[in-house]
Amino acid sequence: GKFLAAWVFVGVALALTFPIWITVNYLGDPDNGVILTAYIGSLLMAGAFLAIGACISAANRNQVVAFIITVVVCFAFLLSGFPLVLDFFSGWAPQGLVDAIAGLSFLTHFNALSRGVLDLRDVLYFLLVIAAWLYANAIVLDMKKAG
């Protein structure tokens, strides 16, 4: 319910930027495939952020605390692929853990989409993140109802 409504709202907000795309096409010759995959990536990443926020909001009574935790968790997912973060972990963590941290980064998967590469792995990553956080949200809500 709420997640889908918020995701549709984000989709409408992205759709309102289509006139810019049309103007760019009128004024020049951009690669429309890159633009389209960037839109898809933006919608998927927004869905992942919304799913994380919905789950954390369901787990907290105080909405301000839920917002702060959501921002921190989303920021962690966003920054986990940056070289500075990976260099920090590579100094003491096994390489497999460093690779796993890099693989969890939203930006790693979004950058591929924003370059025009519609890789099924990137799309599945975002869909699985959305599904996992929404499943966790359902579990939290069921636990609240039960007890």
The secondary element (H helix, E strand) that includes residue 43 is helix 32-59
Predicted pLDDT at 92:
84
Contacts of residue 102, defined as CB under 8 A and 6 or more positions apart, other chains included, come to 80, 81, 86, 108
Predicted pLDDT at 142:
94
Under 8 Å between Cβ of 34 and 114:
yes
Give the pair of three-digit tokens for residue 37.
């995959």
- How far, in whole angstroms, is CA 39 from its chain's centroid? 13
What is the chain's length?
147
Predicted pLDDT at 88:
84
Predicted pLDDT at 36:
94
Which residue in 92, 52, 91, 89 sits closest to 72, CA to CA? 52
Q: What is the largest CA-CA distance in the chain?
A: 60
The tens place of each residue's pLDDT in the chain, 147 residues long, gives 899 999 999 999 999 999 999 999 999 999 999 999 999 999 999 999 999 999 999 999 999 999 999 999 999 999 888 888 888 888 888 888 888 888 889 998 999 899 988 899 999 999 999 999 999 999 999 999 987
| pLDDT per residue as tens digits for the range 104-128 | 899 989 998 999 888 999 999 999 9
Predicted pLDDT at 53:
96
Predicted pLDDT at 59:
94
Note the pTM of the prediction, 2 decimals.
0.90
